[in-house]
Chain A
C-alpha cells in the first residue's frame, strides 16, 4: 500500500498500473476495520462518454461538472453514496491517468512528441502512429459539430445568448479518428485498435495530449512563423505560391537559397514594372491557375475531356 495526497485528502492505495484495478483502503465506520474500494480501469471510451454528459460550453469557455464526472467513475465501482464525497478527488485523479511523480507533457520521462516516423510511445511496448489532420478534415469536423444539435438545419441551433452551439467531445473524437493511424507494438507490428475500451486512463491521457499538441500546438511553442513581421510573412507566402512549397518546406530550405530566390523574384518583378519590354509576371495566388507552358496540350484538343481539381469557378456538366 502507498499513500497519496489529493486536495489535502490522504488515501491509502495499491496502484499496480492504470490498466489494473485500483484498490483503496477506506476506514470503516466502526473505526477498527478498513473497507476496500476497487476502482476498475477507466477507459478511453468511458472518458469520452462521461465528458459528453458533463462537459458544457459556456460562452467561449468549457466547463466540466467535476462532481458528475467523478460519480461516473465511482458508479463503475458501485461505491455507496455515503463514501462518494470523500472519494471524488481520488476518482478524478484515477481518471486523469497521471501517476505520482509524473509531470504533464512528459510522463515517465517519455516525450509526447512524435518521432521521425510519427510514433508516440503510449506505454512500454505500445506505440501510436499519428498524423496531423488536414485543414479539410478540421473544417469538416467544425462544421459537423457546430450543426450537430440540429442536423441539416438551415441555421445551426443557437444558444439563448445567440451564439452557435458546439459539441467539443464530438470535435475531439473526429480529431482522434483522423489523427490516429494505428497502434503498433515495439517491433512495428500493427495492433488492432478494436474499441477504445482497451485504452486505460494513462494511455488515454498520453494519446489525447499527443493528438492535441500535434493538431493544436500552443501559440509560440517553437514555431518560427509565430508573430513574424508582415514583410517576412509576405515573403514566405510568396515562396509558397511561386515554388509550390508548403510552409515546412520553405522553413527547411537553407536560408541563403531562400534569400537568393527572393532576390531573383524581386529583380524579375522590378524589371517587368520598369517597362523593359517584358510583361510583368503576374503574382500567383492560391486561387489563380498557374501560367500554362507554350506547348500543345491534350486539353486543347476538341475531343478531350478535362477535369480541373480545386476551387475553380464552374460546375459539373
Chain B
C-alpha cells in the first residue's frame, strides 16, 4: 500500500530509481523456509541444552558411557582369543572408511585427519565386499559415507560416524548418524542401536539415529521403533522425530518421509544395478529410497513395468536423473504430481 513519505534529498530519488530498476530480491518459498527452520531450530535447541548440561553431570550418561566402554572392551578382549566372527558385509563406500580390528595386522599409517583413535590403535582401510566382524569399530570421515548389509537390513553411515559392531543384533553409535532400512520381504533381523542417551530397537522399518555427544535424535520414516532411555520405554512411529536428551527425556516433533534430512541416506545407498532386472524393481527401490509412494495410474502401466527388463547402468546418476533416463527409454512416463509419490503412467503415444 502506497503512502506518503518524506524525501531527504536528490540521492533518495537515485536510490529509489536504482532499486526499482534492479527489482526485489527473490524470497525462498514459505514451505522451504518452514522445513529448514524446523531442522535448524531443533539443532539450536540441542546446542543450548548442551551448554546448560555442561554445568552439571548426570549419572545416566556416566553409567551409559562406562557401560559402552566396558562392553566394547569386553568384545575387544574376546577378539584377541578367538576368531572374529563376521556379522555384516560392507556393501558400498563413498569416500573412505576405516576400522579398528584389534589383534590383527593392518595399516599403521598416520591417522586420517579428524579421527581420534587414541594411541596404539591399528586402523585398517576397508573396501566394499569386506566382511565386518563382531567387535570391530567402523569410522567414516567427514566427507565419506558407507552402507552395510547386516542380515536382512541395509545400514547407512553418514559423514563422521563411529559405529561399534557389538554383535549381529547390537550396535553402538557414538558419533554421526546411522540409517536402518528393513525392506519388505527381507529376513527378519532384530537390531538394537545404543547411544549414550538411549537405545533404539526397530520393529521392521526405516529410521535413522543421529547422535552428538550425549544427545540422540531418532527419526522414523516408516514403521516404528522402541526407544529405551533413563526416562523409560517409549515408541516412535512413522513421521516422528524424537530428541532424547542427556537425561533421557524425550521431545517429539514431526518429519515427513520426503524431508531433506533423509537425503544423505539415499546418497549412501549402494548403487542399484539395473542390468537385466525388471523396471518395476527399480521403481520400487527408487520410491523406497526417497520415502515416496509408488503409484501406477493403470493396470497396464503396472504390467508393463514388471515385464520390461533394463539394460545398462545408472552409476554416477542421482536418483531423479536416473529415473528420467530409464523411463525415457520405455513406453512409460513419470507424472509430475507431488513430492510424496512417484506416479507412473503409459506415455501418451501408447
Does B associate with A? no
Q: Residues of A at under 8 Å CB distance from B?
A: none
